[in-house]
Structure 1
Amino acid sequence: MTRNKSFLKEIDHSKDDLLELIEQALWFKKLKKERTKHNYLEGLNIALIFEKTSTRTRSAFTVAGQDLGMNVTYLASDDIQLGKKESVIDTAKVLGSMFDGIEYRGFKQESAEFLAAYSGVPVWNGLTDDWHPTQMIADFMTIKELFGRLEGLTLVYLGDGRNNVASSLLVTSAILGINVMIIAPEELQPARSIVRIAKEHQTGGSIYITDDVSAVKNADILYTDVWVSMGEKVDFKDRIDLLLPYQINSNLLAQVTNPNAVVLHCLPAFHDTNTEIGKQIYDQYGYKELEITDEVFQQHSSSIFQEAENRLHSIKAIMYHSLKNL
């Protein structure tokens, strides 16, 4: 494993590093299922900084830290002075003197980088506007479980190709040597800089960017995400109209030639009206489903919720690798 103890973005790590984390996550999942105690980091202290709300990331870091024997302190944006009354750098120095590791989920990638540079302890990126690296270990761990391999598979992402999940999927697939395709309207295709980074770190497979939905036929894994990211300021109706042709629905799945293809979603998903936001979207725009239909979501829910659970095991592997030598 690399000497880089933080986990800030995928390109900081090699293919072997990422594969090692996936295998470690699978091992931790086995221990959890067997209820085998694994408090290997007993007595250490970690801080969880959340500028953005979270279900899976917060739960996974909390339970993972506790399972490993650590003391876990949650710090919401209103609890600390990060970037408000106190600079990120000053905050990093303070927290680094008290904690053995720091998780950061927020807006600026720069904040995660500053925390890592000035705290003196490992920092884990729980999500920024640019990258979502902890999600990637869970995603490819899930794919490994479902297919028994990663080699030769084709992952197809549909929707907003510029968001953090799309960027991370593109780059991580390239690092792992997996065929990856981003299907998105031209206005929402990955930035050239992200495509260049992916190609620079590519170890195999292919990279393909298109607006042609029929290209989905080669998919082994179909992946989608919400159409508007947290904090993004856009005309929601315009975004819906632009991305509706890229919805994962039964007609789109019928074009896929692999009968064993799976659908993944990092959640939350707008597949029904059983949420306040879902009801608002329906009342205002008349849509009951957005990036994925409820029919497809329910059909592939076992894989999607397996992916969600794997956030726990993958984050445990990431933290263990960072802290095991303390």
Structure 2
Amino acid sequence: MSTRHFLTLLDMTPEELQQIVQRAITLKQMRNAGEIYEPLKNKVMAMIFEKASTRTRVSFEAGMAQFGGHAMFLSPRDTQLGRGEPVEDSARVISSMVDVVMIRTFSHELVETFARYSRVPVINALTDDYHPCQLLADMQTFAEQRGSIKGKTVVWIGDGNNMCNSYINAARQFDFKLNVACPEGFAPNADLVSLNSDRVKVFESPEEAVKGAHLVVTDVWASMGQEDEQRERIREFRGYQVTPALMDLADDDAIFMHCLPAHRGEEVSEEMMEDPRSVVFEEAENRLHAQKALLEFLLAKA
């Protein structure tokens, strides 16, 4: 049986993704009930970080501990990967000693190369192109809050970044419509949009895009590695802030998500973060439960 990896949402079937989301909800209930469940006892995860993280590190490390396993933090300062060792060599060595590898980095190609030479599952915990683990948490959150997302309308407001690309994949895999509102020059991957043109539309007007939507999502305007563009991006994205007034144009039952960290007063107003329609902190917690379900899927059933 070939090794399964999770580099984008397209690495799973829609049925498998639904299974993982539903299992995440169950695992959350088990943890909240104080039930001890350790399917990954004596399993080890290598966590390779080239990008800083709060939610990713805490959720994966806590998840492995709660499952009875161990998570090992590796930064470029700690490994030969940061000193120029070929990715292929590092993949062969690290995967011979652990049971699963999680990578948070810049280049999506690096993750693909690592997976190609790894003998154990590799999880993309964020690249410049995709952030599939966050989408598992987001889909879990919507399911808990509003039920099935199938046939609903989701709106992405802001930069056509890695999160936006993953939302396009999610629209395909979870069968919802996606409106993307972004300034000219900041659209998502054109090939992805074209491949999913039956369900993805790009707008310049946030107000037009958000009408009747069931979920409104945004992210910072300048991602890691784009800090030098911050001032220009604030200028370009003026008018794309998610506020309670913008949310009022959405469906009466709409909810708001943000993968965090948020720049309050930029892509989202202070008031929107604390608005009753905001589920950002439930969404953040669900990184733990969704990733535990993913780990169980990749390891416990292998």
TM-score range, shorter chain: over 0.9
Deviation at 1:190, TM superposition (A): 1.3
2:174 to 161, 173, 176: 176
Quick check: 2:151–2:177 contact (8 Å CA) kept in 1? yes
Report whether the alignment pairs 1:102 with 2:95: no
Shift of 1:317: 0.7
**1:111 shift after superposition:** 1.3
| Structure 1 position 254, deviation (Å) | 2.8
Please tell me whether the aligned partners of residues 135 and 311 of structure 1 are also in contact (alpha carbons under 8 angstroms). Answer: yes
**Unaligned stretches of 5+ residues in structure 2:** none
Query: Runs of 4 or more off by more than 4 Å in structure 1?
Result: none
Tell me, in whole angstroms, the C-alpha distance in 2 between the residues paired with 1:4 and 1:224: 33
Provide the TM-score with structure 2 as the length reference: 0.95
- CA distance in 2: counterparts of 1:223 and 1:308, whole angstroms: 13
**Deviation at 1:113?**
1.2
Change (3 A) 1:4 1:146: farther
| Residue-by-residue CA offset, 1:169-194 (whole Å, 9 max, x unaligned) | 11111221111110111211112112
Determine the C-alpha separation between the residues in 2 that align with 1:100 and 1:62: 14
Give the match for residue 290 of structure 2: 314
The answer as to 2:128 corresponding to 1:129 is: yes
Asked if 1:218 is matched to 2:188, the reply is no
| Preserved CA contact (<8 Å) 1:156 1:180 | yes
CA contact (8 A) 1:263 1:300 kept: no
Give the Å deviation of 1:252.
1.4
Cα distance in 2, alignment partners of residues 32 and 94 from structure 1: 34
Residue 32 (structure 1) aligns with: 31
Task: Please give the secondary structure, in 2, of the residue aligned with 1:151.
Answer: coil
Query: Which residue is 2:299 aligned to?
Result: 323
Match runs of 1:1-326 below 5 Å = 5-82=4-81, 84-161=83-160, 163-199=161-197, 206-215=199-208, 216-232=210-226, 234-256=228-250, 258-271=251-264, 289-300=265-276, 303-326=279-302
Whichever residue aligns with residue 235 of structure 1, its letter is E
Q: CA deviation at 1:235?
A: 3.0
- Residue aligned with 1:299, SS: coil
Query: Could you tell me whether the CA contact under 8 Å between 1:174 and 1:207 is conserved in 2?
Result: no
Structure 2 residue identity aligned to 1:222: V
Quote the RMSD (CA, aligned, Å).
1.7
Q: Is the 8 A contact 1:51 1:105 kept in 2?
A: yes
Pairwise CA distance, 1:233: 5.6
Q: CA deviation at 1:325?
A: 3.4
| Structure 2 CA distance for aligned equivalents of residues 159 and 325 of structure 1 | 38
Letter paired with 2:182: A
For structure 1, which runs of at least 5 residues remain unmatched after alignment? 272-288
Contact 1:5 1:321 in 2 (8 A): no
Q: CA deviation at 1:84?
A: 2.7
Q: How many residues align?
A: 301
Identity of matched residues, %: 34
CA distance in 1, matches of 2:247, 2:172: 24
CA apart distance, 1:270: 0.7
For residue 3 of structure 1, report the CA deviation from its aligned partner.
6.2
- 8 Å contact 2:154–2:176 — kept in the other structure? yes
Note if contact 2:272-2:278 (Cα within 8 Å) is conserved in structure 1.
Answer: no
Instruction: Give, in angstroms, the shift of residue 242 of structure 1.
Output: 1.1
- Distance across 2 between alignment mates of 1:186 and 1:324: 45
* Cα distance between partner residues in 2 of 1:12 and 1:39: 26
Q: State the AA in 1 paired with 2:203.
A: T
Alignment check: 8 A CA contact 1:154 1:219 kept: yes
Q: CA deviation at 1:237?
A: 2.1
| Structure 1 Cα separation of the partners of residues 276 and 106 of structure 2 | 30
What is the alpha-carbon distance in structure 2 between the residues aligned to residue 314 and residue 211 of structure 1? 32
Q: TM-score, normalised by structure 1?
A: 0.88
* Native 8 Å contact 2:13 2:173 kept in 1: yes
Q: Distance in 1 between matches of 2:153 and 2:42?
A: 42
Aligned-residue offset at 1:17: 1.5
* AA in 1 matched with 2:14: K
- Per the TM alignment, residue 152 of structure 1 is displaced from its structure 2 partner at its CA by 2.4
The answer on whether the counterparts of 1:175 and 1:198 sit within 8 Å (CA) in structure 2 is no
